[in-house]
Amino acid sequence: PSSQQAPLPPISHKKQAAVLASAFMAIALTIGYDQTYGVFQEYYLSPSQDVIVPAPALQEPRPTALLAFVGTLCYGLTWGGGILVNPVISRIELGIWAPATPSTRLWRRRMLRLLTLKTITISGVLMMAAGFALASLATTIWQLLLTQGFLVGFGMSLLYFPLLAPAPEYFTTHRATAMGFMLAGGGAGGLILSPVIRALLSSVGGRWTLRIYALFNLVVGLPIAWAVPRSRFATVSTADGPERRNTHVSRALAVRSTFILSAVAAFLQAAGAQLPLAFIPSYTVALGLSASTGANLLAASNAINAVSRVLTGYAGDRLGRQNTLLLTLLLASLSVFAFWLSSLLEFSTPLWLAFIVLYSFSAGGYYALFPALIAEVFGIRQYAAVNAFILFVRGLGTMFGSPVGGQLLGGSEKGTGAYASIAYWDGALLMGATVCCLGVRWFDGRGKGWKWIA
């Protein structure tokens, strides 16, 4: 059909720079926070916390899994909300909900005129700020689940997807490099937020930290929300009107081996990738180091991860995005077995530090490369639909991995030995994701013709 063949309009370097900057900041505010929740988790589990009554440290067994789920629910909804947000964005861009006849009620016409991309993103920022503010009034874990988990997570989804969904459309040759830079915002945000949140928790306590962070989200988030870009497809005219991005996965696409394996890989990688980040602060304390050291190590992990996303994106444009993604996934899974488990067996801080460095670098590869890989394997016009579904699956995986890890940690064994089950679980998840991505590489090459650089 003509709507699938219409060329996209040219784009200026100035617009590309604006998309890069706004997307980077959006990811820093959303994913950057998600990757620092381990600092809150360690605080909630400490005897000095002032939010939950009675203190989790005094409960037996300790509700580690439930507290981990507060963070993973937020992270999962940040990604999983795209299954709802992306179709709404597409309809807004094309004016599908605009009034069609003069008989439409006046109040409905006014409401539809107010429904814009900026309305969605600003609503997301307000929801995030409200979630943190209400969390400061919580006294139980279920109240944190509703506020710091559900409300913040869905608000982040409303900010994340309108800024990220159209971003790959603005780049071609250097798409992986551009996506790597944008997604490095998650590491950069974590680098800044982790020690700042830890310092606030130590100085003013949990409730005032949440209130200050709510205000911070408003001040930083509203300008980002205002800078939301429009999809390039919305400017393409066809015989049937403006071209609409596909936002639903077709049945023909859903049964393809590459799609099924990509979805399974996304689930397993998301389930495993957040486990080390969630438990870096608490495991560091179990090694005999301070909570501040744990927060600083989490910040260092995010910094390495941010650099990795840019470098692996650059490497993917030259060595092949699928090749680079496979290599980084394999290194991430091997680092768990080689260094994390070794640090447990030998009670070794140097081995733990080596794991943080190698894992943080290798784990960044998947985040940087999978958006460009989706566009390459499934086509740029299928990107919105496939990306929304894959991120929904990743959201489910995130909500699966860390709570299971918390349940494993909540066993009878104490000290560093309690983390052995988490390390085995994490390594198995990441190795499974590696095998699935190898399958994607194989089936994609068989269908399109084998190339070494792909």
In DSSP notation, 330-389 reads HHHHHHIIIIIHHHHHHT-HHHHHHHHHHHHHHHHHHHHHHHHHHHHHH-GGGHHHHHHH
243-276 per-position pLDDT tens digit: 555 566 778 888 899 999 999 999 999 989 888 8
pLDDT on residue 177: 78
Peptide bond into 63 cis (omega under 30): no
More confident residue, 216 or 17: 216
Q: How far separated are the first and last CA of the chain, in Å rounded?
A: 28
**Does the pLDDT at position 393 exceed 70?**
yes
- Dump pLDDT digits (tens) for 328-365: 999 999 999 999 888 888 878 889 999 999 999 998 88
pTM: 0.76
Residue 396 has pLDDT above 80, yes or no: yes
In the predicted structure, residue 85 carries a pLDDT above the cut 70: yes
Q: Strand, helix or coil at 454?
A: coil
pLDDT tens digits, 38-75: 889 889 988 889 999 988 888 877 788 888 889 889 98
18-22, 285-289, 444-448: range with highest mean pLDDT: 18-22
Burial 357-396 (b: 16+ CB within 10 A, else e): ebbbbbbbbbbbbbbbbbbbbbebbbbbbbbbbbbbbbbb
Q: How confident is the model at residue 4 (pLDDT cuts 50, 70, 90)?
A: very low
Question: What is the per-residue pLDDT for 275?
Answer: 83
Q: Which residues of 103-132 are buried (b: 16+ CB within 10 A; e: fewer)?
A: eeeeeeeeebeeeebeebbbebbbbbbbbb
Structure tokens at 23: 């997307």
pLDDT digits (tens, 9 = 90+) for 139-188: 999 999 999 999 999 999 999 988 887 777 787 777 777 877 888 888 88
**Under the phi-then-psi rule, with left for phi > 0, alpha for psi from -120 to 50, and beta for the rest, what region is 229?**
beta
Distance CA 230, CA 351 (A): 47
Q: What is the DSSP letter of 146?
A: I
CA distance 26 to 124: 11
Cβ pair 209, 49 in contact under 8 A: no
What integer pLDDT is reported at residue 184 of this predicted model? 83
